[in-house]
């Protein structure tokens, strides 16, 4: 769990660090919001494509070996990001990073599903999701500090250094995970991919995943730019904002994980979604706002998002059979990445930056996120019913 959590920390930080670097990167490379949105979504599109291509092979090999291979490529891609000197080079580096990094998340989820039963999977997801909060507490403030001290390239170099240490820990301490290899047939990789992708039960789950990614991918790329130019938060205050939000998330995440196991994963998802809808609509309509109020809003919003992430991942992990687990997770991750990439690109088309620097139409993003979040409440309900039926458990009514 510790190794997987630190691994996730580097992955999430690599993806998240690009967003707060927007105020540094956009003027330095002289790029528009649309181009910045493409730089963010390029990672997602390439990650989605690689996940689909790797899905057929995901259940044929030891998961540790797959993890080492793709993590090595991720480190090289991140290094290229740190060395990029133009928009085109950065775009290509993000594509390379996405090709390798996009598969790692699905391998991690497959490992968790292999090793932990559903009854405790919520708390495991909650623990691993601490990587999300840790990236805010440790990674983003340090990354922003380096960006202020030197330039926007330095945070990527920092991620490479940390990732090399994590790679050493994976090689030394993670044991082989190959039980799935012994239980499945020797189906052709492409046949295995086609069978998994065409499974009617899995298709419904993929549909739910497609909308789950919309919220974060639409708001995240321009979150820092919106905070600096619309909410009038000083760039020097950004590390404090991320630190406070992250510290609270580190406490909330494991608690939500345990809560989802005891109270119910769908119930937790339902409440988290309602909280997200309310806060997102309010937040995206804010004008000049005191820093303390922005902190409070961020903590509540991330609590809702964390509840959705932990509970939905725990539920989705129970859907596939063991022999399909790696392929299912790869395709599911690809669907998430591709839909997220579409959302990030669409956000770049919706948002316009005025001559004074303020972002216009950010409120529209909030309404879109709220609508998609409401739809996922319905879709995840069907996933929950499927899981309960599979486990022969009678679901407890919400009331």
Which residues on neighbouring strands pair with residue 360, listed in sequence order? 352
Let me know if residue 218 belongs to a domain. Answer: yes
Res 55: pLDDT: 62
- Match 């769990």 to its residue by tokens: 1
- Write down the number of H helices and E strands in the chain: 19, 2
- Is residue 395 included in any domain, yes or no? no
Which residues are registered as beta bridge partners of 353?
359
Tell me if 397 is assigned to some domain.
Answer: no
Give the number of domains in the chain.
1
d(CA 387, CA 393): 8
Name residues of the chain where pLDDT drops below 50.
394-396, 398-399
Q: Is residue 213 part of a domain?
A: yes
- The pLDDT, as a whole number, for residue 394 is 44
Q: What is the pLDDT of residue 275?
A: 94
Say how many C-beta atoms besides its own lie within 10 A of residue 322's C-beta.
14
Q: How far is CA 39 from CA 2, 209, 281, 283, 354, in A?
A: 31, 22, 26, 25, 20
In a domain, 162, yes or no: yes
Q: What is the CATH number of the domain that holds 327?
A: 1.20.1250.20
Residue 197 lies in a domain: yes
pLDDT value of residue 399: 46
> Residue 141: inside a domain, yes or no?
yes
Q: Is residue 309 part of a domain?
A: yes
Report whether 359 contacts 229 (CB < 8 A): yes
Residues contacting residue 217 through CB under 8 Å, at least 6 positions apart: 40, 41, 44, 339, 340, 341, 343, 344, 347
What are 83's two structure tokens? 């060395």
Contact residues for 350 (Cβ-Cβ < 8 A; gap 6+): 361, 364, 365, 368
List b or e across 86-114, with b for residues whose CB sees 16 or more CB atoms inside 10 angstroms.
Answer: ebeebbbbbbbbbbbbbbbbbbbbbbbbb
- pLDDT for 396 equals 47
Closest by CA to 298, choosing from 360, 248, 366, 225, is 248
Q: Mean pLDDT over all residues of the chain?
A: 80
Q: Which domain holds residue 258?
A: 2-390
Model pTM? Answer: 0.71
């Amino acid at each position: 769990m510790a190794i997987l959590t630190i691994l996730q920390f580097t992955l999430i930080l690599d993806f998240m660090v690009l967003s707060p670097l927007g105020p540094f990167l956009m003027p330095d490379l002289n790029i528009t919001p649309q181009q910045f949105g493409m730089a963010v979504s390029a990672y997602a599109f390439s990650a989605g494509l690689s996940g689909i291509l790797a899905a057929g092979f995901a259940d044929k090999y030891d998961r540790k070996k797959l993890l080492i291979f793709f993590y090595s490529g991720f480190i090289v891609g991140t290094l290229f990001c740190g060395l990029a000197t133009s928009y085109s080079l950065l775009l290509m580096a993000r594509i390379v990073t996405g090709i390798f990094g996009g598969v790692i998340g699905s391998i991690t989820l497959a490992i968790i599903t292999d090793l932990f039963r559903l009854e405790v999977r919520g708390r495991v997801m909650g623990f691993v999701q601490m990587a999300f909060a840790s990236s805010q507490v440790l990674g983003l403030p340090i990354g922003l500090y380096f960006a202020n001290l030197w330039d926007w390239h330095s945070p990527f170099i920092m991620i490479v250094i940390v990732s090399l240490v994590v790679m050493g820990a994976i090689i030394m301490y993670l044991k082989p995970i190959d039980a799935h290899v012994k239980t499945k047939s020797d189906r052709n990789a492409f046949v295995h991919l086609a069978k998994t992708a065409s499974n009617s039960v899995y298709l419904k789950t993929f549909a739910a995943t497609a909308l789950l990614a919309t919220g974060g991918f639409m708001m995240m790329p321009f979150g820092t730019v919106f905070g600096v130019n619309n909410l009038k938060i000083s760039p020097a205050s950004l590390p404090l904002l991320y630190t406070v939000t992250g510290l609270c998330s580190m406490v909330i995440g494991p608690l939500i994980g345990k809560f989802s196991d005891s109270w119910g994963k769908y119930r937790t998802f339902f409440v988290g979604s309602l909280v997200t809808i309310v806060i997102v609509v309010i937040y995206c309509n804010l004008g000049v706002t005191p820093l303390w109020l922005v902190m409070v809003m961020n903590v509540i919003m991330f609590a809702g998002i964390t509840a959705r992430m932990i509970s939905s991942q725990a539920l989705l992990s129970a859907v596939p059979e063991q022999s399909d687990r790696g392929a299912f997770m790869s395709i599911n991750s690809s669907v998430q990445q591709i839909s997220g990439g579409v959302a990030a690109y669409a956000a770049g088309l919706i948002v316009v930056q005025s001559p004074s620097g303020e972002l216009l139409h950010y409120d529209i993003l909030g309404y879109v996120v709220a609508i998609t979040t409401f739809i996922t409440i319905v879709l995840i309900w069907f996933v929950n019913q499927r899981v309960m039926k599979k486990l022969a458990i009678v679901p407890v009514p919400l009331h």
